[in-house]
Structures are given as C-alpha cells and as structure tokens.
A and B are shown apart, each in its own frame.
Chain A
Amino acid sequence: MDFLLDIFSNLSLGFSIALSPYTLMLAIIGCFLGTIIGALPGLGPSNGVAILIPITFTLGLDATSALVLMTSVYYGAMYGGRISSILLNIPGDEPALMTTLDGYPMAKQGRAGDALVLSGVASFVGALLATIGLMLLAPLLARVAYLFGPAEYFALYLLAFCTLGGMASNNQAKAAIASCIGLGIAMIGVDSNGLPRFTGNNMHLMDGIDFLVAIVGLFAIAEVFFFIEGHGKDSAIGVKLGKVTVPWKDIFLVKWVMLRASIVGFIAGILPGAGASLGSFLAYMSEKSIAGKEGGFGTGVPKGVAAPEAGNNAAAGGALVPMLTLGVPGSGTTAVLLALLMTLNITPGPTLFTDRPEVVWGLIASLLIANFVLLLMNVPLVSFFVRILQVPAWILLPGVTMISFVGIYSLSGSYFDLLLMVGFGVLGFVLRKLDVPTVPVILGILLGGNMEDKLRQAMVLSDGDPMYLFSTPIATGLWIAAVLGFVAPMFLRGVLSKPQRHTD
C-alpha cells in the first residue's frame, strides 16, 4: 500500500508541475512539433529530436521544461511516424517499418483514413499503458539500481551494446565496429585524471567531441546526403486520403490485439539497447502467429496495423525506464534523449528519483497529458498533418540542414564544430551505405566515458583483480545476458527473418 501511496503523492507533485500553464503549453508545442517531425518523411524521431536539442539548450529552458518539451516531441514523433508509413510506405524510422506492412496495403484499398484513425488509437493505447507501466516500474527499478556498483554498471553498459548490436542489426561484426567507433571517439580529450588523449595536440579536441555535434551529423546531415542521392524520389504523395471517419467496428475488433501488443512492446522497450524496433517487431510477429494464415497479415488487415503501432509506442515508453533509472538508453531516440539529459547536467540513475523528484514526476505527468493531446491531434486533426507531408523534399531537407547548422553554431560559435558535424554526416552516410548501424556509434560516444570510469573504479575496489567484474550475481547475470544477446541472434536469424518492406 505504501508503494501506491508514494506513487499518488509523487504524481500529484508531478501534475502540479505539468498543469502549470507554461509547462502545459510546452507539452502541447512539443506534441505538435513531434507529430510533424514524425510525419515528415526523412525526419524520424531521432534526427528530429537531435536537431531540436541544441536549440532548446540555447533557449535557456530549465531542466524540467526542456525535458517535458523534448519528450513530448519524442512521443509525438512516435505517433506521427505512422502517417508516412501508411500513406507513403516510408517508415520515418526503424520501428515504424512494421506499420508499413499492413498500413500501406490498407491505404491502397482506399481505407487510408481508417488505417490512420485505427493506428492513432493503437498508438494511444500503447503509449498510455506504457506511461502507466513506467510510473509503476521505474521507482521499483530505481531501488534495485541502488544495488549497482561499478562492476554491475560496466556489465550493464556492455549488455546495452550487445543487445543493440545483436538484435537491431544484420551483422554482429559491423555492430561491434560501430560501438567501437563511438567508444573510441568518447576517449578523445582529457581523461578523468586530467591528461589529454588522442587529441593530436589539436586545441579544439581538448574538451573532447561534443556528442550533440556527432548526433546531429550522423542523423540529420547524413539524411540530407541520402535525399540528394535519391533525388527526392520518396517525396511524392503515395495515397490520397479521403474523408476521415472513426471505424468503431475495427477498433472494437482489435482491442485485445492492442493490449497484448502493448505489453510485448513495453517489455521489449525496457531491455537496454534493444528498444523500440524490437517492440514493434515482436508485437507484429506474435499477433501474426496468433492470427495464423487466415489472419491475412501483410495484406492490409486492421490487426496488422494496430499491433505494431501499439507495440512501437509502448516500447517508446518502456525505453524511458532504463534511460531514467540506469542511464542506459533503450533505443536510438532515447540515446538522443540521454544526450539531452547530459546537456542539461541531469545525471540519470536512481539518485534522480530521490534528489530531483520534480523532474521525474513532472515528466511522467506531462507524458500522461501529452498522450491525450496527441490522441486529439492524431485522430480528429489528422488531415492537417497529412497536408504537411506534401512539403517537398527540396524545401524540407535544406531546411533541416540550416536548422542543424544554426543549432550547433549557437552552442559553441565555432566553425570547427560545424566542420566536424559535416564530417559526421559523411561518416553516417558511408556507414549506412555499408549497413553498419549508426545508433551504437551514438551510444558509444554517450556512454564511453562512464563505461571506462566504472571499469577503473571497479579495478580500484578490487586492486586490479579482473574477476571482480563477475563477482556479484547481478553482474554475472548481466554478463550472461550480454553474451546471449550478442550471440543468440546469429542463430535465430534464420528462424526469425525480418519481414522486408513492400516494394510496388
């Protein structure tokens, strides 16, 4: 009972912050921007959030406000992503891929409006349940996290890299290289003892490479190169949207699907490193096998639209659990959110819950409110966002580039960071061409410093005995999970092949 009482008193603290007119306004702006970002092809949640961080930072918002704004953008982008998946057959990001499988065929059958409303409701159910799950689980996990010493943290970081590399990519070696690139970049600059490393005596590198520069380059600038390569081909509107009505019958039909997919997605989202892609994938695949051959998954059935959207949004909420309690992101976008926390000087982890309850609970309350705002924006007002899709790529992508430049430039005012950002853009382009995932690079840059510090602290505690890293049950468990997470997908890949995108 105590536990529930705690949650209620914390929630009322949260709502007292979230319902202040200013915070509420930020949440609504965030939802609106997020839905647009998600809906625009070529601007997924990760790069959308990435280009907004430097700007939010220069605006000088306080920690809670900035966090509320950006997580509303994050949730909004998760909702909005389905719009381009369904109408254009272009997933805004990896997790939205599953929504194209049934969403696009359904839209081609002339049921675009139904698919949009249905997926909007599924997003709402998934995100709402996940936010409630976050509210219940995060404080519990924060208590467990107190038991984590340096050895456990080191193993946990390793687990994040392994599951991310193992499950979210097609080739383990490439994922490992990506992680090493990120970790290697994190080593540049002055180490924890104050001596410079890998700087090549370049003054600009003494402070290390700002992760925001890397994130914006790898995500946003690389995307611009991809659009130039494709000559904006993907920007034409695929399917016309007729009058939008609410398909009550379909919504009623998929109620259990949404519930199951939300639970599956939430659990997948909690896994450090695995995140949202796995959530929508597992939700879709499990519903597909429950429905069997007669279910007609892949041909445009309502269940096939509802399952991945509920799973995707539930995973987005689930991914916040390890991010807030342990400081380990569960997906590409939460990695970007972690970057936001670090920019705001908030250290995620168990102490966040006791030291700065107003940040955590203000955030959770805002997310609950954001869900209702998003349902409103994404069901009755969906036609407005569909019109935004018609912004052609030749306006959109130059715009994204300029916003990226202004953001990074206003952070440091140095041309060196801008050059570095363009360099990361080229790197991101080459890596993605070679099917090397870029999210582990980001994760490496973000976690590299901490990971090394934990290793060094652990070795100080044990006086240099490496067995200390496996000395507690939690640490051993995490090591086993890490190895399994990395190795198991090699064998499962034959069995669980990812469904590929429809091509017309």
Chain B
Amino acid sequence: MSDRLFGLVVLMVALAFIASATQVQTSFLSDPVGPKTFPILIGAVAAISAAVMIFKPDPDPQWPAGRTFFALLVALIVLVGYAFALKPFGFILPTAVTAAVLSYQISPRIGPALLTGVGLSVGLFVLFKYALKLGLVPFPKGLFG
C-alpha cells in the first residue's frame, strides 16, 4: 500500500514536472535539444517507474505510529523552528533548546537532555567561534550591549 501511494505521488509529480517543462521559455539562441527535452525525459522515466511501483509494490515497511510518530513530529517542528530562530535569536539559546528537545526525543530523561542541550550549545559555540573562527552571533543583537 505504501509503495502504491508513493508511486501515485511520484506519478503526479512527474506529470506536473513534464507539464511545467513544456512551459519553459525557450531562448532565441536555442540548440536542437533546447531546455525542455531533458526534463521531459526525466519526467517520463519517473512516470514509468512510478507505474511499475503501483503495479508491483513491495511489502509495506513498518511506519512509526503513536508515541514514536509524535516524537518525530516534535523533532520536525523543533528543527523548522530552529531554522527560523537561528538568525534573530543568535546561536546559544536556540541551539540549547533544539539540542535538548532532540536529545529528549531519543532518550526521554529530562536531566541528561538539558545537560546535552547546554553542553552542546556552549561547547560547539566555543569550537566554531574560537577554534574554527566561523562568524557566529552568540546572542540576539542588543541584549548584552
């Protein structure tokens, strides 16, 4: 079932990709192949392979359910939040929070998770900033002068 669903998604994306390829503007300097042919070929191969997957699916994998699914979702949300937070809030704080949450999702113990968060954030900051000289901003601008 998973394979069929995935095949269907790939098929749709492939068709959309081909459709989008036909709309690509062609430059007046064009060569015999042009900018459309290769993407259309790729889309066609993907569509055929997707059809094979729909007709000959493999047995289903075991998908995460219940608590595991929830843990993955939390991790995903935290990572997306981290991506947005890194610039406005500096390195230390978002990193500590993200690392602690991730650590908690792998092994649910609050103490070690907090220690991991703080340790990683400070440790990596020192490593990156002073040993490797990357330009990281520790705290949000204006907070500590």
Q: Which residues of A contact B (CB under 8 A)?
A: 55, 58-59, 170-171, 173-174, 176-177, 179-181, 183-184, 187, 191, 193-195, 197-198, 221, 224-225, 227-229, 231-232, 392-395, 397-399, 401-403, 405-406, 409-410, 413, 415, 418-419, 421-422, 425-426, 430, 433-436, 451-452, 455-456, 459-460, 463-464
Min C-beta distance of A317 to chain B, whole Å = 29
Residue in contact with A180 in the complex, picked from B26, B45, B61, B76, CB distance below 8 Å: B45
**Is the beta-carbon distance between A176 and B86 smaller than 8 angstroms?**
no
How many Å from the CB of B109 to the closest CB on chain A? 8
A residues near B37, Cβ cutoff 8 Å? 455
Check A422 against B79 for contact (C-beta < 8 Å): yes
Nearest 4 CB-CB pairings of A with B: A464-B32, A418-B83, A180-B46, A173-B52
Are A171 and B61 within 8 A (Cβ)?
no
Q: Shortest distance in angstroms between A55's beta carbon and chain B's nearest beta carbon? A: 7
Contacts of A197 in B (CB 8 A): 21, 24, 35, 39
Contacts of B136 in A (CB 8 A): 406, 410
- 29 A-B residue pairs with Cβ-Cβ distance under 8 Å, sorted by A, are A170-B58, A173-B50, A174-B49, A180-B42, A193-B29, A195-B24, A195-B26, A198-B21, A224-B75, A224-B102, A392-B107, A393-B107, A394-B116, A398-B98, A401-B98, A402-B98, A402-B121, A402-B124, A405-B83, A406-B91, A418-B83, A419-B80, A419-B83, A422-B79, A422-B83, A434-B3, A434-B6, A455-B33, A456-B34
A395 and B48 alpha carbons, distance in the complex (Å) = 43
Which residues 85-132 in B have Cβ within 8 Å of A in the complex?
86-87, 91, 95, 98-100, 102-107, 112-113, 116-117, 119-121, 124, 128, 132
User: How many residues of B are counted as interface, with CB atoms below 8 angstroms from the partner's CB atoms?
Assistant: 73
* B contact residues around A183 at 8 Å (CB): 42
Chain B: minimal CB distance from A436 (Å): 8
Q: Mark B17-61, 1 if CB is under 8 A from A, else 0.
A: 100110011110111111101110011011011101100101001
CA distance A406 to B105 in the complex (A): 21
User: A228 near B106 (CB under 8 angstroms)?
Assistant: yes
Task: Write out the residue numbers on chain A whose beta carbons fall within 8 Å of the beta carbon of B135.
Answer: 410
Report the Cα distance A225→B106, complex, angstroms.
Answer: 9
* Residues of chain B with a CB closer than 8 A to A435's CB: 58, 61
- Taking a contact as CB atoms under 8 Å apart, the answer to whether A195 and B35 are in contact is yes
Residues of chain B at the chain A interface (Cβ within 8 Å): 2-3, 6, 10, 14, 17, 20-21, 24-27, 29-35, 37-39, 42-43, 45-46, 48-50, 52-53, 56, 58, 61, 63-64, 68, 71-72, 75-76, 79-80, 82-84, 86-87, 91, 95, 98-100, 102-107, 112-113, 116-117, 119-121, 124, 128, 132-136
Contacts of B121 in A (CB 8 A): 402
Contacting residues, chain A, for B27 (C-beta < 8 A): 193-195
* Given A187-B38, A402-B98, A228-B72 contact (CB < 8 Å): yes
- Most chain-B CB neighbours within 10 Å: which of A170, A430, A434, A451? A434
Q: In the assembled complex, which residues on chain B have CB atoms less than 8 Å from the CB atom of A227?
A: 106
Number of cross-chain contacts by CB at 8 Å:
189
Q: For residue A184, which residues in chain B have a CB less than 8 angstroms away from its CB?
A: 17, 39, 42-43, 46
Tell whether, in the assembled complex, residue B79 and residue A401 are in contact, meaning their CB atoms are under 8 Å apart: yes
A180 contacts across to B, CB distance below 8 A: 14, 42-43, 45-46, 49
Q: Give Cα A264–Cα B46 distance, bound, in whole angstroms.
A: 34
Instruction: Please state if B86 and A415 are interface contacts (CB–CB under 8 Å).
Output: yes
Whether the pair B35, A58 counts as a contact (CB closer than 8 A) is no
Cα of A415 to Cα of B21 in the assembled complex, Å: 28
Asked whether, in the complex, the Cβ of B112 is within 8 Å of the Cβ of A394, the reply is yes
Residues of B within 8 A of A232 (CB): 106-107
Whole-angstrom CA separation of A224 from B72 in the bound complex: 10
Residues A193 and B102 in contact in the complex (CB < 8 Å), given A180-B14, A229-B64, A398-B116: no
Closest CB in chain B relative to A149 CB, distance in Å: 16
Q: Do B10 and A425 touch (CB < 8 A)?
A: no
Given contacts A224-B75, A224-B102, A455-B33, contact A405 B38 (CB under 8 A): no
| Structural contact, A410 and B68, CB atoms closer than 8 A | no
Contact B79 A173 (CB under 8 A): no
- Residues of B near A194 (CB, < 8 A) are 27
Alpha-carbon separation in the docked complex, A402 to B118 (Å): 12
Partner of A433, one of B50, B63, B75: B63
Given contacts A195-B24, A425-B79, A435-B58, contact A393 B39 (CB under 8 A): no
In the bound complex, how far is the Cα of B31 from the Cα of A491, in angstroms?
40
Measured in the bound complex, the distance between the Cα atoms of B38 and A55 in whole Å is 34
Contact B106 A231 (CB under 8 A): yes
Given contacts A397-B103, A398-B102, A459-B31, could you give 19 more A-B pairs where the C-beta distance is less than 8 Å?
A58-B132, A59-B132, A173-B56, A177-B46, A180-B45, A187-B42, A191-B24, A193-B29, A194-B27, A197-B35, A228-B72, A228-B106, A229-B68, A399-B99, A402-B121, A406-B136, A435-B61, A455-B38, A460-B32
